[in-house]
Structure 1
Amino acid sequence: MTPKKGLSRRNFVGSVGVAAGAATFGIRAAGASPAQDRVRLGLIGAGSRGNQLLGEFLPRKEVQFVAVADVDDNHANETADRIAKDGGYDRPEAMRDYRTMLDRDDLDAVVIATPDHWHAHPTIHACQAGKDVYVEKPLAHNVAEGRAMVDAARKHERVVAVGTQQRSSDNFKTAVESIRQGKIGRVHWIQTWNFENISPYGMGIAPDSEAPSYVDYDAWLGPAPARPFNINRFHLLFRWFFDYAGGMMSDWGVHLNDIALWAIDQKGPSTVNTTGGIWCVKDDRDTPDTMQVVYEFPGDCVLTYSMRKGNGMPMNGHGYGILFCGTDGSLFIDRSGHEIIPDKLAEPYGIKLIKGEVPTRTINTQAEQVKAEDDGLPNHVDDFLRCLKTRERPVCDVEVTHHSTNTTHLGNISYVLGRKLTWDAETETFPGDDEANRLLSRPYRTGYELPKV
Structure 2
Amino acid sequence: MRTTRRGFIQKTAAATIATAAFPAYLKASTVPPSDQVNVALIGCRNMGFGILKHHLNLRGVNCVALCDVDQRVLNEKAAEIKRNYKQSPKLYGDFRKLLENKDVDAVIVGTPDHWHCLPTIYALQAGKDVYVEKPLANSITECNLIVQAAKRYNKQLVQVGQQQRSGGHWNKIHQLIADGKLGKLRKVNVWGNFNYGIGQPIQADTPVPEGVDFDFWLGPAPKRSFNPTRFHGSWRMFWDYGGGLVTDWGVHLLDMAFWPSKTVAPPKTIMASGGNLSFADHAHETFDTMSVIFQLDDYAVTWEHTAGTENGPWDQSYGLAFVGDLGTILADRSGFKVLPEWDNQRKLDKTPPLELDSHGENHAQHVENFVQCIRDRKSPVCSPEIGRAAAIAAHSANIAIRSGAGMLHWDEQTNRFTNSELANNYLTPNYRTPWKLPEI
- TM (norm. structure 2) is 0.88
Instruction: Give 1:344's match in structure 2, choosing from 342, 345, 353.
Output: 342
Tell me what 1:49 maps to.
Answer: 47
For the residue of structure 1 that corresponds to 2:411, the secondary structure is coil
Per-residue CA deviation, residues 284-332 of structure 1 (Å, 9 max, x unaligned), is: 1001111101111112x21110100244333112110000100111001
Q: Report the CA distance shift for 1:329/1:193 in structure 2 as closer, same or farther (over 3 A).
A: same
Shift of 1:438: 2.0
Label 1:196 to 1:108 Cα distance change in 2 as closer, same or farther (>3 A).
Answer: closer
Tell me which amino acid in the other structure corresponds to 1:449. Answer: K
What amino acid is the match of 2:162?
T
Name the count of aligned residue pairs: 405
Counterparts of residues 23-422 of structure 1 (less than 5 Å): 37-89=35-87, 91-157=88-154, 158-196=156-194, 203-266=200-263, 267-282=265-280, 283-299=282-298, 301-345=299-343, 364-418=350-404, 419-422=406-409
SS of the equivalent of 1:243 reads coil
| Cα distance, 1:67–1:198 mapped onto 2, change above 3 Å | closer
Counterpart of 1:288, as a letter, is F
Contact 1:137 1:163 in 2 (8 A): yes
Rounded Cα–Cα distance in structure 2 between residues aligned with 1:398 and 1:427: 18
Inter-partner Cα distance in structure 2 for 1:364 and 1:346: 10
How far did 1:160 drift?
A: 0.6
Corresponding residue SS for 2:236: helix
Q: Deviations 1:135-173 (Å, cap 9, x if unpaired)?
A: 111110011101111111121121010110001000100
Query: What is the rounded CA distance, in whole Å, between the counterparts of 1:294 and 1:432 in structure 2?
Result: 17
User: What amino acid sits opposite 2:430 in the alignment?
Assistant: P
In 1, the alpha carbon distance for the partners of 2:72 and 2:196 equals 30
* Residue from 425, 437, 440 that aligns with 1:438: 425
Structure 1 residues 221 and 202, CA gap change in structure 2 (3 angstroms): closer
Q: Which of 396, 404, 415 in structure 2 is aligned with 1:428? A: 415
Q: Secondary structure at the match of 1:316?
A: helix
What do the CA deviations read for 1:343-397 (whole angstroms, capped 9, x no partner)?
12579xxxxxxxxxxxx99863100001112322111111101111222210011
Q: Note the residue ranges of structure 2 that are not aligned, 5 or more in a row.
A: 1-31
Give the % identical residues: 37
Q: In the TM superposition, what is the alpha-carbon distance from 1:426 to its structure 2 partner? A: 4.3
In the superposition, relative to structure 1, how do residues 85 and 162 fare at CA in structure 2: closer, same or farther (>3 Å)? same
CA spacing shift, 1:48–1:197, aligned 2, 3 Å: closer
Q: Distance in 2 between matches of 1:115 and 1:407?
A: 19
Change (3 A) 1:311 1:75: closer
Native 8 Å contact 2:199 2:237 kept in 1:
no
Q: Distance in 2 between matches of 1:376 and 1:431?
A: 38
Residues 408 and 419, structure 2, Cα contact 8 Å, conserved in 1: no
Question: C-alpha distance in 2, partners of 1:84/1:198?
Answer: 32
Q: Which has the larger radius of gyration?
A: 1
- Distance in structure 1 (CA, Å) of the matches to 2:99 and 2:134: 21
Q: Secondary structure at the match of 1:251?
A: helix
User: Are residues 287 and 338 of structure 1, via their aligned partners in 2, closer, same or farther at CA, if it must alter by over 3 Å?
Assistant: same
1: distance between equivalents of 2:437 and 2:311? Answer: 42
Letter in 1 for 2:128: K
Opposite residue 285 of structure 2, the aligned amino acid is D
For 1:176 and 1:142, locate their aligned partners in 2 and report how far apart those are by CA, in whole Å: 28
1:191 partner amino acid: N
Cα distance in 2, alignment partners of residues 197 and 107 from structure 1: 38
TM-score normalised by structure 1 residue count: 0.86
In the alignment, structure 1 segments of 5+ residues that lack a partner are 1-33, 348-359
Once the two structures are overlaid, the 10-residue window that deviates more, 362-371 or 169-178, is 362-371
Cα distance between partner residues in 2 of 1:294 and 1:346: 31
- Distance in 1 (CA, whole Å) between partners of 2:111 and 2:195 is 27
